[in-house]
Amino acid sequence: MSDDRSSLANRAVSPSPEEAARESRHEVLRELLGAYADRELPPETVAQIDAHLVGCAECRHSLEVHHTLRARLAVEPPAAASPAFRARISAAIDAAPVPTAPRIAADARVTPGPRMLWLVASGWVVATVLALTLAVTSGSASRFTPSTRALAAPVHDVPLLGAVVDDYARVSRGDLPGRARDLDAVRAAVSFPVEPLRAPNLRLLAAWTTDVRGEPAAVLAYRLDDRLLVQYLVPEDVFFQHPAIRAAIADHHLLRAADGDRTVVAWPDSSTGNVLVGNVPTESLQSIWRSESTR
Amino acid sequence: MSTSPPAVDPIAELRARFEAVVMPHLDRLLAFAIRRTDSVADAEDAVQEACIRAWLGFADLRDEANARPWFYRILRTVLSDMREKSGRRQQLVYITRLEDAHEELVGGEHDALFSEVVSRLDGEAVHRGLRAIPEDFAAAVELHDIDGFKYVEIAEIVGVPIGTVMSRIARGRKLLAGAIMAERGGVAADARTTERRSAQGGPR
């Protein structure tokens, strides 16, 4: 069988319209050969490629490369995680905080009653509903988060947190000092990365810069449902200055604190520290942090 | 005296589910991390961090059938954070050299030769080849060919449209073939190297 691409290459003159169309089709179809080899294409495209392969040696060779590499990589063995490594992971998970939903259920189990026991046995969804109901009726979510994870000292004993909480109080009383469109300007103004938080129902409202205890900070304000949250991003050396923050991060990856109705969570990124403040239940802030940490 | 059923410990139950759903993938994840780090110790650190993040977010995992891609996505985030922190740069053979080697390969009757070369590759050589091509392409190829994900799952793990996955796998295999042939021909040894191209700046 003749090879239409070879004959095409041997012609010095301009290709005919038919040849140009064939070449164009070749360019398109050869980009699909990987997906063809992987059986990820719809039948009609497969049929087009089947027909093209009959007359195109280059695509046949290219397809063979795909098949050969795929077959070789498929037998690449997994690594064997050693028993010691598995034990290390198990210990690390033991030392980590427990995910929120089971913790709520566990706390509910501490004060047993027939209704409560039924709820615990009914699973996480029901337990979460119970926790939210109790939070509303009691006016506080703190009973669902163990005190061992909260900052023991008053917020203002940790200068960074005190400064942030005071700034939040000032900001939340007046007009926000920026707009969401100012984000790029904020990024350009500070020496560390500034990435907005992403979580369900969380929308960026404004971005601006400020200084926290004499150090530059980026500030992002969000709307969470009908509440205002403010995120302060500071350099990591500023973030880790106070021993209470270092201890909380080392033990729990997250610092949690409260100042009156205001709740605070703080955690480090690769090169920055985040302090998130809002007049919302701590659980809402922790949920945002979890979304970030699993992103 | 009547006996009541034993109380359910929700935390223990969740932990058991985590062990059953996530931990069976540990070997594959470790291999994926080893191919992206400088040492097994670094890879283990990354996988450990991914496990902790997975545990902390496990209550948010709605469909346990999606645990494997979800776990890979977390690990990729951890590895990306580590690279950013360490400032590590991958040494790449020039892309054009790999493309040239691939073009030469498919432009002639070299199928049998290539098949023989590939069949003789040991694990180290495969890793060198994968490390010679941009991370975005290598990851897509590995997630499909080694870890067995479908295109739609890779799109979810990597966070790109499925068309981009298709393109990265196709181009990744071409570059890998070029890297293998270039190394065999000694091209890689002479090649100048350049820094890894980022997902944004790299070729698609």
- ipTM value: 0.81
Specify whether A115 is located in the same domain as A216: no
Specify whether A243 is located in the same domain as A155: yes
Q: Taking residues B6-17, what's their average pLDDT?
A: 78
Is the pLDDT higher at A137 or at B63?
A: B63
Buried b (16+ CB within 10 A) or exposed e, A219-251: bbbbebeeebbbbbbbbeebbebbebbeebbee
Q: Which domains does chain B have, with CATH numbers?
A: 10-86 (1.10.1740.10), 91-195 (1.10.10.10)
pTM of the model: 0.55
Q: How confident is the model at residue A258 (pLDDT cuts 50, 70, 90)?
A: confident
State the Cα angle at A114 between A112 and A118, rounded to 5°. 95
Q: Of A110, A143, A176, which closes a domain?
A: A143
* Chain A contact present for B31, CB below 8 A: yes
Residues in B touching A69 (Cβ below 8 Å)? 118, 141, 145, 173, 176-177
- A282 assigned to some structural domain: yes
Residue B6: how many other CB atoms lie within 10 Å: 6
Q: Taking residues A37-41, what's their average pLDDT?
A: 94
Q: Is B91 helix (H, G, I), strand (E, B) or coil?
A: strand
* Chain A contact present for B75, CB below 8 A: no
pLDDT at B201 over 50: no
pLDDT (tens digit per residue) in A180-238 = 778 888 887 888 888 889 887 888 988 888 888 778 889 999 998 888 999 999 988 88
Residues in B touching A80 (Cβ below 8 Å)? 27
* Chain A contact present for B121, CB below 8 A: yes
pLDDT number for residue A285: 86
Mean of per-residue pLDDT scores for chain A: 76
* Number of residues that this document lists for chain A: 295
pLDDT number for residue A158: 87
pLDDT number for residue B93: 57
Query: What's the number of domains chain A is made of?
Result: 3
Residues in A touching B70 (Cβ below 8 Å)? 294
- Which among A76, A81, A124 has the least Cβ separation from residue B26? A81
pLDDT at B69 over 90: yes
What range does the domain containing A122 cover? Answer: 100-143
pLDDT number for residue B87: 57
pLDDT (tens digit per residue) in B152-180 = 999 989 988 999 999 999 999 999 999 99
- Count A/B contacts: CB-CB distance under 8 Å: 174
Q: How confident is the model at residue A243 (pLDDT cuts 50, 70, 90)?
A: confident
- Helix H, strand E, coil C: the string for chain A is CCCHHHHHHCCCCCCCHHHHHHHHHHHHHHCCHHHHHCCCCCHHHHHHHHHHHHHCHHHHHHHHHHHHHHHHHHCCCCCCCCHHHHHHHHHHHHHCCCCHHHHHHHHHHHCCCHHHHHHHHHCHHHHHHHHHHHHHHHCCCHHHCCHHHECCCCHHHCHHHHHHHHHHHHHHHCCCCCEHHHHHHHHHHCCCCCCCCCCCCEEEEEEEEEEECCEEEEEEEEEECCEEEEEEEEEHHHHCCCHHHHHHHHHHCCEEEEECCEEEEEEECCCEEEEEEECCCHHHHHHHHHHHHCC
Alpha-carbon dihedral sign for residues A77, A83, A85, A90: positive
Q: How confident is the model at residue A95 (pLDDT cuts 50, 70, 90)?
A: confident
Least trusted range by pLDDT, from A36-40, A169-173, A230-234? A169-173
Nearest Cα of chain A lies from the Cα of B32 at a distance, in angstroms, of 8
pLDDT at A148 over 50: no
Is the pLDDT higher at A74 or at B97?
A: A74
Distances (CA, A) of A234 to A166, A271, B111, B128: 16, 9, 56, 39
The CATH number of whichever domain residue A247 belongs to comes to 3.30.200.100
pLDDT number for residue B104: 80
Least trusted range by pLDDT, from A44-53, B138-147, B185-194? B185-194
Nearest Cα of chain B lies from the Cα of A205 at a distance, in angstroms, of 25
Specify whether A236 is located in the same domain as A182: yes
Specify whether A266 is located in the same domain as A178: yes
Q: How confident is the model at residue A13 (pLDDT cuts 50, 70, 90)?
A: low
pLDDT number for residue B203: 36
Strands (DSSP E) contained in B12-161 are 91-93
pLDDT number for residue A130: 34
Q: Taking residues A28-56, what's their average pLDDT?
A: 92
Specify whether A241 is located in the same domain as A268: yes
Alpha-carbon dihedral sign for residues B76, B77, B78, B83: positive
pLDDT number for residue A136: 32
pLDDT number for residue A149: 54
pLDDT number for residue B54: 92
- The DSSP output letter for B4 is P
Specify whether A201 is located in the same domain as A286: yes
Q: Of A37, A56, A74, which closes a domain?
A: A74
- Residue A60: closest CA among chain B residues belongs to which residue? B106
